[in-house]
Amino acid sequence: MSSYKKYKILKILADLKRENSLRPIRYDELEFSLSAEEINDRLKYPMRDISVICDDFYTLGFIQLTSYDGQPDIVRYYITENGEQAHFDRLYLNKLWYKDNRFLIPLTVSIIAIIFPVAVSIFDTSKLERIEKLEKELDSLRVELKLNSVKNRNESVK
């Protein structure tokens, strides 16, 4: 499951608790809870993803389950202190692939390992082309020198 999805679900539950805790009402976890359908309405994630993530959160102790007396079949989720701490620590945002050093370091090394030989080969190719050009120029200068030396001999013989 996506770490970003997990973060967003924790964020919604934490924000709901924070908003409702500012109002002068008696503490009731139902006031701080959302059903999977309500989470789906806010985030538009598939219900299966929401269910799996909430089951994981329940196992980790980040959320608790509750339900209305008249609707025992509708499970509602509210955030616990551990869940709030995970949200404020940005636990799941820090697990995103582009922030994970276990992923970034090998990726960076691999990219360098690919780019370095290519750069060296391009550099070597340009050097070889330059050497070939200089050799051709040297050959033409040798031919010109021989011609000049032959001319000089011919003129000195006359």
> What is the domain partition of the chain in residue ranges?
3-96, 100-158
pLDDT of residue 96: 62
77 contacts 65 by C-beta, under 8 angstroms: yes
pLDDT digits (tens, 9 = 90+) for 26-44: 666 677 889 999 999 999 9
- Token pair 């008249």 in the structure block, residue: 70
pLDDT of residue 127: 81
d(CA 62, CA 74): 19
Q: How confident is the model over 124-151, as a mean pLDDT?
A: 88
Bridge partners (DSSP) listed for residue 65: 77
- Give the percent of the chain with pLDDT over 90: 39
Class of domain 3-96: mainly alpha
Query: Of 74, 64, 68, which Cα lies nearest the Cα of 40?
Result: 74
Quote the crossing angle between the two packed helices 3-21 and 47-60, to the nearest 10°: 70
d(CA 64, CA 55): 10
pLDDT digits (tens, 9 = 90+) for 44-87: 999 999 999 999 999 999 999 988 777 778 889 999 999 999 88
pLDDT of residue 124: 77
